[in-house]
């Protein structure tokens, strides 16, 4: 059916919107482009005949043209939404994407990602007074600057920003700057205690 494949692409995208990036479906995109090419070729011929006086062809041409337009819209939607997804991931995961996400991206997307990365880094360096500001850190305003954490594993000494050292020993509890211990919480060294 006309423009069926393009719709498939959009459906596929819709299924994967839950946070994961689906693999870049190069095959299907090629098929859609081929379909568009065929339609275009048919239209080109049809247009010639129509100009010569076969007016009954005009409606067929219009249908094909609508198909081409639709395919185009679908493709653009596919690509753009993927870019949006990748951009969102930059803010979530930081400048280095996990390998499984990277594997699902096409070459152009990787390129775009790197450029976006550079732009964002440049911008973050320019705001704030000294050394810039990490905009990705607190996406929502945090409720408290400090959090209470408990060590789940022996981690050894840890130097805080103000130059003090804190010993992370199993089952000790600490009240620390949220920004400092966030990555340790992600690593599974600390556990955030909600009071």
User: Rounded to an integer, what distance in angstroms lies between the CA atom of residue 101 and that of residue 19?
Assistant: 11
Q: Smaller CB distance to another protein: residue 49 or 146?
A: 146
CB 192 to another protein: min, Å: 14
CB 150 to another protein: min, Å: 7
178 scored as a contact of another protein (CB under 8 A): no
Q: Number of helices and strands (H, E) in the chain?
A: 6, 5
Write out the two tokens for 118.
């550079």
Q: Smaller CB distance to another protein: residue 172 or 187?
A: 172
User: Rounded to an integer, what distance in angstroms lies between the CA atom of residue 181 and that of residue 186?
Assistant: 9
User: Rounded to an integer, what distance in angstroms lies between the CA atom of residue 186 and that of residue 51?
Assistant: 68
172 scored as a contact of another protein (CB under 8 A): yes
The CA angle 121-126-128, to the nearest 5 degrees, is 115
150 scored as a contact of another protein (CB under 8 A): yes
Write out the two tokens for 170.
């199993």
153 scored as a contact of another protein (CB under 8 A): no
Q: Smaller CB distance to another protein: residue 8 or 191?
A: 191
Residues that bind another protein in the complex, under the rule CB under 8 A: 144-146, 148, 150, 157, 163-167, 169-176, 195
């Amino acid at each position: 059916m006309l423009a069926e494949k393009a719709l498939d692409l959009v459906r596929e995208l819709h299924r994967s919107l839950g946070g994961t990036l689906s693999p870049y479906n190069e095959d299907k995109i090629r098929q859609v482009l081929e379909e568009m090419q065929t339609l275009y070729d048919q239209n080109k011929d049809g247009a010639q005949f129509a100009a010569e006086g076969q007016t009954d062809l005009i409606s067929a041409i219009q249908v094909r043209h609508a198909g081409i337009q639709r395919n185009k819209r679908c493709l653009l939607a596919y690509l753009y939404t993927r870019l949006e997804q990748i951009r969102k991931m930059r803010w979530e995961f930081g400048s280095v994407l996990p390998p499984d996400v990277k594997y699902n991206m096409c070459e152009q997307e990787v390129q775009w990602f790197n450029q976006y990365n550079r732009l964002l880094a440049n911008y973050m360096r320019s705001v704030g007074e000294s050394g810039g500001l990490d905009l990705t850190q607190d996406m929502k305003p945090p409720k408290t600057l400090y959090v209470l954490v408990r060590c789940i594993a022996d981690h050894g000494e840890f130097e805080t920003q103000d130059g003090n050292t804190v010993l992370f020993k199993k089952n000790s509890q600490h009240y620390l700057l949220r920004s400092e211990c966030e990555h340790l919480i992600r690593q599974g060294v600390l556990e955030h205690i909600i009071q």
